[in-house]
Amino acid sequence: MSKLKPKFLIPAIGAGVAVVAGVGAYLYFKSGPSGGISDAAASAKLVPDDAMMATYIATDPTVWSKLEKFGTPEAQKIIAAGVESFNKSFSNDDNISYDRDLKPWVGGVMVAVLPPPAVQPAQNKSQSSADPNILMVVGIKDKVEALNFTNKLKQQKNVKIEEIEYKGQTIQKTQGKGSPTYSTILNDRVLFSPSQNAVNQAIDTSKGEPSFLSKTGASQIIGNNLQLENTLFQVYVPDYASMVKKLVATNPQVQQIPPQTLEQLKQIKSVVAGIGVDDNGLRVKANTNLDAQKVKFQYEKTSGKVLSQLPQNTIALVSGGGISKWWTAFTEQAQDTTELNVLLQQVRAQLKLVNIDLDKDVFGWMDGEFGIAAIPVKQGLLKQIGFGGAFLFQTGDRKTAEATFSKLDDLAKAQSLKVAQKNIGGTQITEWQIPNQGALLAHGWLDDKTALLALGGPIAEKLTAQGFKPISGSSSFQGITGTLPQENGGYFYLDMEKALPIITRFSPPPTEATAILNSIRGIGVTATSPNKSLTQMEMLLALKKNSDK
Q: Output the pLDDT for position 45.
A: 94
- Taken in order 508, 514, 520, 526, the sign of the CA dihedral is negative
According to the model, what pLDDT value does residue 1 have? Answer: 38
pTM metric for this prediction: 0.86
Query: What span, in angstroms and rounded, lies between the C-alpha atoms of 40 and 225?
Result: 11
Please count the CA atoms within 13 angstroms of the CA of 36 that sit on its side-chain side.
8
pLDDT at 130 (0 to 100)? 55
Can you give the three-state secondary structure of 57-96, one letter per residue? Answer: ECCCHHHHHHHHHECCHHHHHHHHHHHHHHHHHHHCCCCC
| CB-based contacts of 120-125 (< 8 A; 24+ apart in sequence) | 125/252, 125/253
DSSP codes joined into one string, 365-382 = T--SEEEEEEEE-SSSTT
Per-residue pLDDT of the chain (549 residues; tens, 9 = 90+): 333 433 333 333 333 233 333 334 444 444 333 566 778 899 999 999 999 999 998 877 788 888 888 877 777 777 777 666 666 655 444 566 777 777 778 888 899 999 876 555 444 444 444 566 899 999 888 888 888 887 777 777 777 888 999 999 999 898 877 788 899 999 889 998 999 999 999 999 999 999 999 998 888 899 877 989 999 899 999 999 888 888 777 766 666 667 777 777 888 999 999 999 999 999 999 999 998 888 877 778 899 999 999 999 999 999 999 999 999 989 988 888 888 899 999 999 999 999 999 999 999 999 999 999 999 998 888 888 889 999 999 999 999 999 999 999 999 999 989 999 998 888 899 999 998 888 899 999 999 999 999 998 789 988 988 778 999 989 999 999 999 999 999 999 999 999 999 999 888 888 888 888 999 999 999 999 988 899 999 999 999 988 654
- Quick one: which of 529, 55, 540 has its CA closest to 287? 529
pLDDT at 88: 62
pLDDT of residue 432: 95
Helices (H) and strands (E) counted in the chain, each on its own, are 17, 20
One-letter amino acid at 373 equals: A
Q: 12-39 b/e with 16+ CB inside 10 Å = b?
A: bbbbbbbbeebbbbbbbbbbbbbbbbeb
Contacts of 44 (CB under 8 A, 6+ apart): 54, 110, 211, 212, 213, 218, 222, 236
pLDDT of residue 21: 36
Rounded to whole angstroms, how far apart are CA atoms 174 and 183? 8
